Amino acid sequence: MSKYGIIVNADDCVGCHACFVACKEENQVAPGVRWNHLERLEHPAEQVIEYFRVSCMHCEDPACMKVCPVKAVYFGPHGEVLVDQTKCIGCKGCLAACPYGAPKFSDPNKQSYFGDLKPLGGPSVTPKFWQKRIAGKAEHCTLCTHRTSEGRLPACVEVCSTHALQLVDYDKPTDAQKALIARAQMINQGAGTSPKVRFVSSITDFTGRKVSA
């Protein structure tokens, strides 16, 4: 068994937006929709500008899952929080409940830069993850479950030139990952959802910080 998450090291992030672009291209995310994005903090006293990537936090106790009236939110094979769009009714209850503003809803009239929406998955992936995308239904970062199921890294992690993003397995961490996890903070920890996307910073206390949608 494995339980995947991402450690975001704000000390190493240079704000290049490569992770954002990689996610857009890999998942063919519709115009106006962001599965991940960068946030910027200024620290005048330290003379530091800090950047960090945010997305669905892939919580261990997700608020979205608790409120979904049709049980469209479920855990993937590595603890990813995923949405079955064939069940989703677009009520946006998940968005109201999520303390991170993670669920997104695309405009049915403004679907893609690429033509038809790309299905999530691939030939070697369990059919559960090979599904047609449906406009106007809940969607968000999947931790690239279609890639990790094939032994590859999420697109955002793969392209990060400074290695500020690290995919970790909380159930079977390496020694290097154990040290990173020990330093990592849960953003907006008071929300009580136990996010598996966590943050490292020598300046910012993320535990009480909220993120923008």
What pTM, to 2 d.p., does this model score? 0.90
Task: Give the per-residue pLDDT at 134.
Answer: 84
Q: If you write DSSP's letter for every residue of 162-184 in order, what string do you get?
A: T--EEEEESSS--HHHHHHHHH-
The conformation of residue 53, written as its DSSP 8-state character, comes to: E
Structural domains in the chain plus CATH codes: 4-208 (3.30.70.20)
Confidence of residue 210 (pLDDT cuts 50, 70, 90): confident
* Contact between residue 5 and residue 60 where contact means Cβ atoms under 8 Å apart: no
Confidence of residue 114 (pLDDT cuts 50, 70, 90): low
Residue 45's CB is within 10 A of a number of other CB atoms, namely 6
Q: What is the mean pLDDT of residues 9-14?
A: 96
Coil/strand/helix, residue 158: helix
Q: What is the mean pLDDT of residues 49-62?
A: 97
Q: Is 5's pLDDT higher than 90?
A: yes
Task: Give the per-residue pLDDT at 125.
Answer: 44
Task: Give the per-residue pLDDT at 126.
Answer: 47
Enumerate residues 6+ apart whose C-beta is below 8 A from 117: 28, 30, 111, 132, 133, 135
Q: Is 127's pLDDT higher than 90?
A: no
Phi and psi for 24 in degrees, rounded to 5?
-60, -45
